[in-house]
Amino acid sequence: MAKTVIVVIDGFGVGAMPDAGTLRPGDTAADTCGHVLDQAHTPAGRPPRLPVLGALGLGLVHPHPGLARSTRLPVAAGRAALGYPGADTFAGHQTMMGADFSRVAVARLADHLDQVAGALTEAGHRVELLDRQPLLVVDGAVLVHDNLEADPGINWNASGRLDDLAFDGPGGILAIARTVRTVAPVARVIAVGGHADGPLPRFVRAGEGDTVGLDTPASGFYRNGGLRVRHLGAPLDHTRQLPELAARAGLPVTLVGKAADILACEAAERRPAVPTAEVLAHTLDAVRAGGEGLVVANVQETDLAGHQQDTARYGQVLEQVDAGLAGLLSLLTGDGDRLIVTGDHGNDPAIGHAHHTREYVPVLIHRPGAGPARRLPDTSSLADVGATAAAALGLAPYGLATGTPITGG
Q: What is the CATH number of the domain that holds 241?
A: 3.40.720.10
More confident residue, 10 or 209: 10
Q: Dump strand ranges (E) for 2-61.
A: 3-9
The pLDDT value given to residue 393: 95
- Both 182 and 315 in a single domain? no
Using the 3D structure, point to which of 233, 263, 287 is the last residue of a domain.
233
Per-residue confidence band for 407, with pLDDT thresholds at 50, 70 and 90: confident
Mean pLDDT for the stretch of residues 14-25: 93
pTM of the model: 0.80
- Both 80 and 181 in a single domain? no
In a domain, 22, yes or no: yes
- Both 225 and 247 in a single domain? no
Contact 263, 296 (CB under 8 A): yes
- Both 153 and 289 in a single domain? no
Mean pLDDT for the stretch of residues 296-303: 98
User: Which phi and psi angles does 281 have, rounded to 5°?
Assistant: -65, -45
- Both 324 and 372 in a single domain? yes
Mean pLDDT for the stretch of residues 376-393: 96
In a domain, 405, yes or no: no
Q: Does residue 195 have a pLDDT over 80? A: yes
Average pLDDT taken over every residue of the chain: 94
The pLDDT value given to residue 325: 98
Using the 3D structure, point to which of 210, 233, 256 is the last residue of a domain.
233
- Both 366 and 250 in a single domain? yes
- Both 13 and 127 in a single domain? no
The pLDDT value given to residue 313: 96
Sheet architecture: strand order including 75-80: 269-271, 253-257, 293-299, 3-9, 338-342, 361-366, 75-80, 374-375
Q: Does residue 182 have a pLDDT over 90? A: yes
In whole angstroms, give the CA distance from residue 302 to residue 97.
21
- Both 210 and 261 in a single domain? no
Find the DSSP H helices in 289-377. Answer: 301-307, 311-331
The pLDDT value given to residue 291: 81
Closest CA to 401 of 192, 236, 166: 236
- Both 210 and 288 in a single domain? no
- Both 87 and 209 in a single domain? no
**Segment holding 363, helix H or strand E:** strand 361-366
Q: Please state the separation of Cα 271 from the chain's center in Å.
A: 16
The secondary structure of residue 151, as a DSSP letter, is S
**Segment holding 76, helix H or strand E:** strand 75-80
Mean pLDDT for the stretch of residues 225-238: 88
The secondary structure of residue 13, as a DSSP letter, is -
Per-residue confidence band for 105, with pLDDT thresholds at 50, 70 and 90: confident
The secondary structure of residue 367, as a DSSP letter, is -
- Both 324 and 378 in a single domain? yes
- Residue 60 Cα distances to 16, 64, 70, 127, 315, angstroms: 17, 10, 7, 53, 20
Per-residue confidence band for 387, with pLDDT thresholds at 50, 70 and 90: very high
More confident residue, 408 or 166: 166
In a domain, 407, yes or no: no
Using the 3D structure, point to which of 180, 215, 233 is the last residue of a domain.
233
Split into its structural domains, the chain has a count of: 2
Instruction: Count CA atoms within 13 Å of residue 373 on its CB side.
Output: 19
More confident residue, 186 or 385: 385
**Structural domain boundaries enclosing 120:** 109-233
Q: Residues 124, 129, 135, 140: what is their CA dihedral angle, to the nearest 10 degrees?
A: -50
Q: Does residue 384 have a pLDDT over 90? A: yes
